[in-house]
Structure 1
Amino acid sequence: MRCPFCSHAETQVAETRESDEGDVVRRRRRCLGCDRRFTTYERAEIALPMVIKKDGARSEFDMTKPRASMMLALRKRPVSTEQVDAALERIQEQILAQNDREVPSSRIGELVMRELRKIDKVAYVRFASVYRSFEDIDEFRKLIKDI
Structure 2
Amino acid sequence: MRCPYCGGSDTQVKDSRPSEDGAAIRRRRVCPDCAGRFTTFERVQLRELIVLKRSGKRVPFDRDKLQRSIDVALRKRPVEPERIERLVSGITRQLESGGEAEIASEAIGELVMEGLKGLDDVAYVRFASVYKNFREAKDFEALLGTLGEAAAPAEAAPPRPRRGARARP
Q: Distance in 2 between matches of 1:44 and 1:130?
A: 30
Query: Relative contact order, CA 8 A, sep 6+: which one is greater?
Result: 1
Residues 82-105 of structure 1 deviation map (CA, whole Å, 9 limit, x = unaligned):
001000111012112211010011
User: Could you tell me how far apart the structure 2 residues matched to 1:69 and 1:45 are?
Assistant: 20
Q: Kindly tell me the number of residue pairs found equivalent between the two proteins.
A: 111
Q: Name the counterpart of 1:145.
A: 145
**Structure 2 residue runs without a partner (length 5+):** 1-15, 26-42, 148-169
Change (3 A) 1:115 1:135: same
SS of corresponding position for 1:56: coil
User: Which residue number corresponds to residue 91 of structure 1?
Assistant: 91
Q: Matched residues in 2 for 1:110 and 1:138: separation?
A: 21
The whole-number CA distance in structure 1 between the counterparts of 2:44 and 2:75 is 34
Residue 100 of structure 1 aligns with an amino acid whose one-letter code is E
The structure 1 segments of at least 4 consecutive aligned residues displaced by more than 4 Å after TM superposition are 19-24
Give the Cα–Cα distance (whole angstroms) in 2 for the partners of residues 110 and 45 of structure 1: 22
- In structure 2, what is the equivalent of residue 58 of structure 1? 58
1:46-85 matched pairs, under 5 angstroms: 46-85=46-85
Residues 92, 44 of structure 1: alpha-carbon distance in 2 compared, 3 angstrom cutoff: closer
TM-score with structure 1 length normalisation?
0.68
2-side partners of 1:75 and 1:126: how far apart? 10
Equivalent AA in structure 2 for residue 103 of structure 1: I
Q: Distance in 2 between matches of 1:92 and 1:133?
A: 24
- Residue 116 of structure 1: aligned partner: 116
- Please list every run of 5 or more consecutive structure 1 residues that lacks an aligned counterpart in the other structure: 1-18, 25-42
Q: Give me the whole-angstrom Cα distance separating, in 2, the residues matched to 1:131 and 1:65.
A: 14
Partner SS for 1:103: strand
For the 8 Å contact 2:46–2:97, the answer to whether it is kept is no
Q: Percent identity?
A: 40
**Aligned match of 2:5:** none
